Amino acid sequence: MTKSKSKTAKSVIIPANYVPSDDETFMNDRMREYFRRRLINWREEISVETRGTVEYLQGERVNHPDPSDVATYNADRQLELRTKDRLRKLVRKIDKALARIEDGTYGYCEETGDPIGARRLEARPIATMSVEAQEMHEREERLRAG
């Protein structure tokens, strides 16, 4: 396994149609910068969505005389709060992935140290384990639960 210390690769040019592939050198400068930008954009999208949720929750101060309207309002509010909490946790995972890009460990399985693979990272940029390690982890969890 070859992990390289990340440089802030602002000078790396990424073609508009670039998609990382398992055929290129894993975590080369272009691939690393591609995922860094993708994670930053994803975090910004979540931030915009979260601001909308906060504005919705702050603006919804309506007095509902009907008990079923109150119940609906409370259910909607709970759903919004759960969604906001999930997004907050996702932002934390994105920030950790960005830190791994900076320290050169992004894209490598935290269990085995092997490359996670470009296709898996494309599908789940915050992945910390290879498919095999993730499956083994999930089997162990099921055994402990059962």
26-106 folds as Four Helix Bundle (Hemerythrin (Met), subunit A) (1.20.120)
Between residues 34 and 54, which one has the greater pLDDT? 34
Q: Is the pTM of this model over 0.95?
A: no
Asked if residue 115 has pLDDT above 50, the reply is: yes
Residue 2 confidence (pLDDT): 46
What is the DSSP annotation of 81-106?
A: HHHHHHHHHHHHHHHHHHHHHHHT-T
Residue 62 confidence (pLDDT): 63
Percentage of the chain surpassing pLDDT 90?
64
Asked if residue 1 has pLDDT above 60, the reply is: no
141 Ramachandran zone, left/alpha/beta (phi>0; psi -120 to 50): alpha
Most confident range (mean pLDDT) of 10-14, 34-38, 64-68 is 34-38
Extents of the domains making up the chain: 26-106, 108-146
pLDDT for 44-91, tens place per residue?
999 988 887 666 666 666 676 777 877 887 788 888 888 889 999 999
Residue 77 confidence (pLDDT): 81
- Residue 108: phi and psi, rounded to 5, are -115, 135
